[in-house]
Structures are given as C-alpha cells and as structure tokens.
Amino acid sequence: MARLFRVPVKTGELIGDPVIDSVRVNVIDSIDALATVGLDLGAASGWRRVEGVTILLKRSDDHEVALQRLLGELHNPYSSCYRRRLAQEEIAAFFGLAENDLEKIVSWLRSHFLDSIRVFHGHTAVTFKGNLHNIETAFRTQFRRYRVEGRDYVANAHECSVPAAFSSVVSGLRNLSFLTRG
C-alpha cells in the first residue's frame, strides 16, 4: 500500500531522549485567554475533576509534507488515488507518531496519576482526565478562578510545560479551562 500512495514507511520514534520530568520546555500559547481577561478570584480547589484535557501532537516535517502530497493526489482527478478514502488507522500508520512515542506520553501521564487516557485514531492527540492538583503537578502550572462577563471559570494562570523530550511532538494543550457556575 505504501507504493500505491508513494509515501514513506513510518521512520520510527521522534522522542529519542529519555523522559526526564525535571528538564522541561514550555508549551507555546498554553496560558488560557480567560486568565488574561478575567477578574482573578483566587486559587481553584485542587481536587476538582477535569475531563477531556487534550494534548495536541504534531507530525515530523517529512511526514507532514508526505501527507500533504498524498492529500493532493487524492483530490487530483488524474491520480490513481483519486477519491480514495483513507482510514484513520492508515493515516496513523504512515503519518502519525510511533507507538513507542505514544507509550512514552501515556506513561508520563499515568505517572502523574492522570487517567482515562485515550489516543486519537490518527495519533494526533491524547485526551485524559484528572484532578486539578495532578494536572498542575504534571504541567507545572497553577489553576485559578476567574470571573468573565458574570460567569465563573477555572483556568490555568501560567504557561504549561512538558518534559523536554516531548518538545518535538507536543504542539499544544486544549480544554484546560471550564465553567464553574453561571
């Protein structure tokens, strides 16, 4: 199938360095917008449960170029691949993170007592649940309560960080903030 699409076979792991929790890098744009516009009401309770937090993952530059090339062929009426549909498993197999890379991320999340961990089919994101205290510890941030337009929210007040070994694969974090009352 790789020859049909003229794409490279998966090249292997992108997380080559050991995952050392004390050696960190900041996740760009990880301060929630609510923290910049809201009225600070103080620290949030660390035992509040948060669901659906998402770590966004990025492909290697080579895989991204190959995927864009393939997508162009799928939309080109003169291509032998015209209008062929790709399953998420195919995209993951050729263009997503290697299973070993995903396992390193999942293991790191578990080591911080985060649970309900789910890897997206295309290997482009990982979701999890946990209490605020464990998320604060894992991502080295602080959650605070904010009031915005009469509504109360909890959001991270500082940039999040991840182990430096993940710097080449983590592109962002989502769903760290939530409404507490209306």
pLDDT per position as a tens digit, 39-58? 999 999 888 999 999 999 98
Same domain, 70 and 133: no
**Do 95 and 120 contact (CB within 8 A), yes or no?**
no
Residue 89 lies in a domain: yes
Averaged confidence pLDDT in the chain: 86
Same domain, 72 and 135: no
Higher pLDDT, 103 or 85: 103
| Nearest alpha-carbon partner for 30 in 136, 182, 119, 149 | 136
Same domain, 107 and 55: yes
Would you state the pLDDT for residue 4?
Answer: 47
**Do 166 and 15 contact (CB within 8 A), yes or no?**
yes
C-alpha span between 107 and 119 (Å, rounded): 12
Say how many domains are in the chain.
2
Same domain, 123 and 170: yes
Would you state the pLDDT for residue 181?
Answer: 67
Residue 37 sits at the vertex; the CA angle it makes with 32 and 38, to the nearest 5 degrees, is 90
Higher pLDDT, 121 or 111: 111
Backbone angles phi, psi at 43, to 5 degrees: -65, 145
9, pLDDT greater than 50: no
The residue type found at 48 is: R
Higher pLDDT, 89 or 155: 155
Same domain, 68 and 149: no
User: What range does the domain containing 68 cover?
Assistant: 60-95
